[in-house]
């Protein structure tokens, strides 16, 4: 009996692709043989008699009105990059390498702001809908609170996320520095279509202009079809009111669309017959091609994936079994499949997707791996339900060249050295 | 209230609000054009919503020196932040393209729209409409897109032909 169980566990540890990728069932049901594998650096315990720790001999901390993470986790923070001479113009990046599952905690959701975070009094804020409508309407927050609401999980990704990977040599940053401008939350609010229908959409209307109540009055044009389809005037983020850094008291949520169009601090929607051609849809957020032309109105995010663990900043602590974990997402629907490679793309094996895998939401994938202590190159490749396959970096650069920064969705490669260090490589 | 009176009330509401559904909350306040005017600051390429006022490059130079130069450098040369002049020929070159008003921006109306709503960064919405026209005129003249004596106003600004006007294509999925 004992030997039979052991043999079953060993079967599950059979490689399914090159350089140690294991049957994806290995980490679910295999027994001690797997659990006893090595961990990431810092996880080892010194031998000796078990102790009753001091925190078991004293009264613990009091209740707190608003909870905070353990102070031992004080390195799990956003990293901030700002325009010269400013403190609130730029972005902060989510520590993807330090998070698990699919939901980004509100205090770690990435930010992109164009002139700081406004201190909006919710009682004075209003949402104006005007332009090509039968009657312009203004909604207070109090009024919107009485409307039927919907909730959905949705990622938001900045159109510039991953832009460094267009460069000719690999920039030495990790998941946070390279791809930290993506986050995922449960957003709750009022379907924009309900408000537009109350205002009465003029048949001439084709676009909306969405504008924020920040110092930059950030504005973007969005096709009316998206506004009528699944756009939400979001009031809540993961169950609480939207954080000021993400648009308090309301933001536009356009599931799957690049972050910049999900206008924060939403205060005005104007229905128009054409796009306004704002600064952020002409001089920014357009993809420059080798022929000098720039692609405009690149709204849905194409399928993309990324291994978050292990990734640079984390270190493998000796040969043995590890779980490879990462995120995949697509602005065109659900993630259908994620494959992982440990040999730089020579061979691939299908990862397990955390369920439910929701459309336009971050999807967690996991894959067991036995590291033999030798060099390895870890990659992931997502396929969405539209059949689109995440391209290699080489393919994407062949198409777009090196001179753009927007909408990078090619494969990211992490090199593993014999000492267990991870670096960003091109492979 | 009887069902009969409810139905009559619903029918009256429907007729009064041009087809609005009676089962929708209808809690929006109807806003007058006069109220909207102050908020409606977006300017499309046709310039239809441009305000009254005007400015020349010479007037704009004074505005620029006082409000813009700290971030955008002398005569729009850039540093610490974005340059506003130059960059011609860099869209197809080897290095990263230098995207300025001259080399990249497709519409002059965008310049007015953006400056009026967002600039200067430390005091947005502090410039008068005349000052915005003037500083747009100055930046466009630095690039030689308009003449040194040209005046920018609601009629002339949308008529400015930007060098990279045809430099944009609509995105379509490649696969």
Give B93's contacts (C-beta < 8 A, 6+ positions apart): A403
Q: Judge whether A91 lies within some domain.
A: no
Say how far apart CA A416 and CA A376 lie, in whole Å: 5
- Of all residues in chain A, the one with the smallest CA distance to B20 is A198
Chain A: nearest CA to B7, how far in angstroms? 19
Minimal Cβ distance to B92: which of A270, A272, A292: A292
Q: At residue B21, does pLDDT exceed 80? A: no
**H-type helices in A48-174, by residue range?**
141-144
- Note down the domain range covering A172: 126-295
Q: Which of A269, A295, A321 is the last residue of a domain?
A: A295
Same-domain pairing of A334 and A254: no
Run of H or E residues at B159: helix B156-159
Same-domain pairing of A139 and A284: yes
Q: How many CA atoms lie within 13 A of B169 on its CB side?
A: 11
Same-domain pairing of A290 and A266: yes
The pLDDT score that the predictor gives to residue B172 is 86
Q: Which of A295, A328, A351 is the last residue of a domain?
A: A295
Q: Judge whether A198 lies within some domain.
A: yes
Q: Which of A264, A295, A326 is the last residue of a domain?
A: A295
Tell me if chain B has a CB within 8 Å of the CB of A236.
no
Tell me if chain B has a CB within 8 Å of the CB of A33.
no
Angle at alpha carbon of residue A275, lines to A273 and A278, rounded to 5°: 145
The pLDDT score that the predictor gives to residue A1 is 34
Minimal Cβ distance to A137: which of B31, B43, B107: B31
- A323: tokens are 């779980």
The CATH number of residue A340's host domain is: 2.60.40.650
Same-domain pairing of A277 and A152: yes
Average pLDDT over residues B40-62: 98
Same-domain pairing of A193 and A286: yes
Per-residue pLDDT of chain A (427 residues; tens, 9 = 90+): 343 434 445 556 789 999 999 987 766 654 434 443 445 655 456 678 999 999 999 999 999 999 999 999 999 999 999 998 899 999 999 999 999 999 999 999 999 999 999 999 999 999 999 999 999 999 999 999 999 999 999 999 999 999 999 999 999 999 999 999 999 999 999 999 999 999 999 999 999 999 999 999 999 999 999 999 999 999 999 999 999 999 999 999 999 999 999 999 999 999 999 999 999 999 999 999 999 999 999 999 999 999 999 999 999 999 999 999 999 999 999 999 999 999 999 999 999 999 999 999 999 999 999 999 999 999 999 999 999 999 999 999 999 999 999 999 999 999 999 999 999 999 9
**Which residue segments constitute the domains of chain B, with CATH numbers given?**
54-159 (1.10.760.10)
* CB atoms inside a 10 Å sphere around CB A289: 17
In this prediction the ipTM stands at: 0.91
Confidence bin at B72 (pLDDT 50/70/90): very high
Contact B40, A270 (CB under 8 A): yes
The pLDDT score that the predictor gives to residue B94 is 79
Same-domain pairing of A253 and A171: yes
Average pLDDT over residues B92-107: 91
The pLDDT score that the predictor gives to residue B93 is 76
High-pLDDT (> 70) share of chain B, %: 87
Same-domain pairing of A290 and A328: no
| B92/A399 touch (CB, cutoff 8 Å), yes or no | no
Number of CB pairs, chain A paired with chain B, less than 8 A apart: 161
Q: What is the bridge-based pairing of β-strands A207-212 and A266-272?
A: antiparallel
- A11: tokens are 């079967």
Same-domain pairing of A135 and A265: yes
Q: Judge whether A56 lies within some domain.
A: no
Query: A343-372 pLDDT, tens per residue?
Result: 999 999 999 999 999 999 999 999 999 999
| Chain A hits for B28, Cβ within 8 Å | 129, 137-139, 143, 195, 198-199
Same-domain pairing of A206 and A276: yes
Say how far apart CA A110 and CA A243 lie, in whole Å: 11
Omega before A53 within 30 of 0, i.e. cis: no
| B118/A297 touch (CB, cutoff 8 Å), yes or no | no
The pLDDT score that the predictor gives to residue A28 is 62
Q: Hey, CA dihedral for A241, A242, A248, A251, is it positive or negative?
A: negative
CA distances from B104 to A44, B69, B144, B163 (A): 56, 20, 14, 8
Q: φ, ψ for residue A100 (rounded to 5)?
A: -130, 175
The pLDDT score that the predictor gives to residue B20 is 62
| B110/A283 touch (CB, cutoff 8 Å), yes or no | yes
Say how far apart CA B136 and CA A279 lie, in whole Å: 14
Contact B25, A146 (CB under 8 A): yes
Average pLDDT over residues B146-151: 98
Q: How many domains does chain A have?
A: 2
Q: Judge whether A359 lies within some domain.
A: yes
Query: A195-208 pLDDT, tens per residue?
Result: 999 999 999 999 99
Q: Judge whether A343 lies within some domain.
A: yes
The pLDDT score that the predictor gives to residue B22 is 76
Say how far apart CA B57 and CA B46 lie, in whole Å: 22
Contact A89, A82 (CB under 8 A): yes
Same-domain pairing of A289 and A317: no
Same-domain pairing of A342 and A287: no
Average pLDDT over residues B110-139: 98
A207 closest CA partner among A281, A285, A275? A275
The CATH number of residue A164's host domain is: 3.90.420.10
Say how far apart CA B36 and CA A136 lie, in whole Å: 9
Contact B171, A300 (CB under 8 A): no
Q: Judge whether A364 lies within some domain.
A: yes
| A198/B96 touch (CB, cutoff 8 Å), yes or no | no
Contact B118, B68 (CB under 8 A): no
| A217/B41 touch (CB, cutoff 8 Å), yes or no | yes
A130 closest CA partner among A267, A259, A292? A267
Contact A113, A121 (CB under 8 A): no
The pLDDT score that the predictor gives to residue A41 is 59
Chain A: nearest CA to B32, how far in angstroms? 7
Same-domain pairing of A278 and A353: no
Q: Judge whether A207 lies within some domain.
A: yes
Q: Judge whether A107 lies within some domain.
A: no
A86 closest CA partner among A115, A119, A117, A112? A115
- Residue A105, classified by CB atoms within 10 Å of its CB into exposed (0-12), middle (13-18) or buried (19+), is middle
């Amino acid at each position: 009996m004992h030997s039979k169980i052991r043999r079953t566990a060993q079967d599950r540890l059979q490689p399914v692709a090159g350089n140690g990728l294991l049957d994806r069932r290995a980490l679910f049901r295999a027994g001690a043989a797997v659990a006893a594998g090595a961990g990431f650096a810092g996880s080892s315990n010194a031998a000796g008699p078990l102790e009753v720790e001091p925190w078991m001999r004293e009264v613990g901390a009091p209740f707190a009105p608003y909870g905070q993470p353990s102070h031992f986790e004080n390195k799990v923070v956003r990293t901030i990059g700002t325009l010269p001479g400013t403190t609130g113009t730029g972005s902060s990046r989510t520590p993807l390498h330090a998070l698990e599952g699919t939901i980004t905690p509100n205090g770690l959701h990435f930010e992109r702001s164009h002139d700081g975070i406004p201190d909006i009094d919710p009682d004075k804020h209003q949402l104006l809908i005007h332009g090509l409508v039968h009657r312009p309407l203004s909604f207070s927050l109090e009024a919107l609170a009485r409307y039927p609401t919907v909730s959905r999980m949705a990622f938001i990704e900045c159109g510039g996320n991953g832009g460094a990977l267009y460069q000719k040599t690999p920039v030495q940053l990790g998941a946070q520095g390279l791809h930290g401008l993506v986050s995922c939350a449960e957003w709750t609010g009022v379907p924009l279509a309900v408000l537009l229908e109350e205002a009465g959409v003029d048949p001439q209307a084709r676009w909306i202009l969405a504008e924020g109540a920040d110092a930059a009055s950030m504005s973007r044009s969005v096709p009316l079809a998206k506004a009528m389809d699944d756009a939400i005037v979001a009031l809540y983020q993961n169950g609480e009111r939207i954080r000021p850094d993400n648009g308090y008291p309301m933001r536009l949520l356009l599931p799957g669309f690049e972050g910049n169009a999900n206008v924060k601090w939403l205060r005005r929607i104007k229905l128009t017959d054409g796009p306004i051609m704002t600064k952020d849809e002409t001089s920014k957020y357009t993809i420059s091609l080798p022929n000098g032309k720039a692609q405009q109105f690149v709204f849905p995010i194409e399928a993309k994936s990324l291994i978050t663990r292990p990734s640079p900043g984390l270190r493998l602590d000796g040969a043995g079994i590890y779980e490879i974990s990462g995120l995949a997402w697509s602005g065109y629907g659900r993630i259908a499949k994620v494959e992982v490679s440990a040999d730089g793309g020579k061979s691939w094996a299908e990862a397990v997707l955390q369920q439910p895998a929701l459309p336009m939401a971050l999807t967690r994938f996991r894959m067991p791996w036995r590291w033999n202590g030798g060099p390895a190159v870890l990659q992931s490749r997502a396929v969405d339900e539209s059949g689109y396959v995440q391209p290699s970096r080489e393919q994407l650069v062949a198409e777009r060249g090196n001179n753009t920064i927007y909408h990078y969705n090619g494969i990211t490669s992490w090199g593993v050295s014999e000492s267990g260090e991870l670096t960003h490589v091109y492979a | 209230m009887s069902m009969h009176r409810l139905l009559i009330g619903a029918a009256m509401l429907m007729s009064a609000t041009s087809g609005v559904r009676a089962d929708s909350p209808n809690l929006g306040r109807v806003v007058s054009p006069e109220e909207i005017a102050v908020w409606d600051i977006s300017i499309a390429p046709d310039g239809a919503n441009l305000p009254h006022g005007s400015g020349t490059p010479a007037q704009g130079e004074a505005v620029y020196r006082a409000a813009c130069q700290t971030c955008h450098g002398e005569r729009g040369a850039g540093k610490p932040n974005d340059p506003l002049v130059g960059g011609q020929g860099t869209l197809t070159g080897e290095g990263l393209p230098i995207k300025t008003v001259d080399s990249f921006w497709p519409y002059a109306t965008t310049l007015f729209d953006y400056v009026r709503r967002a600039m200067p960064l430390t005091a947005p919405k502090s410039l008068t409409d005349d000052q915005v026209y003037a500083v747009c005129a100055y930046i466009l003249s630095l690039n030689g897109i308009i003449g040194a004596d040209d005046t920018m106003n609601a009629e002339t600004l949308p008529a400015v032909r930007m060098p990279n006007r045809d430099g944009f294509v609509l995105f379509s999925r490649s696969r």
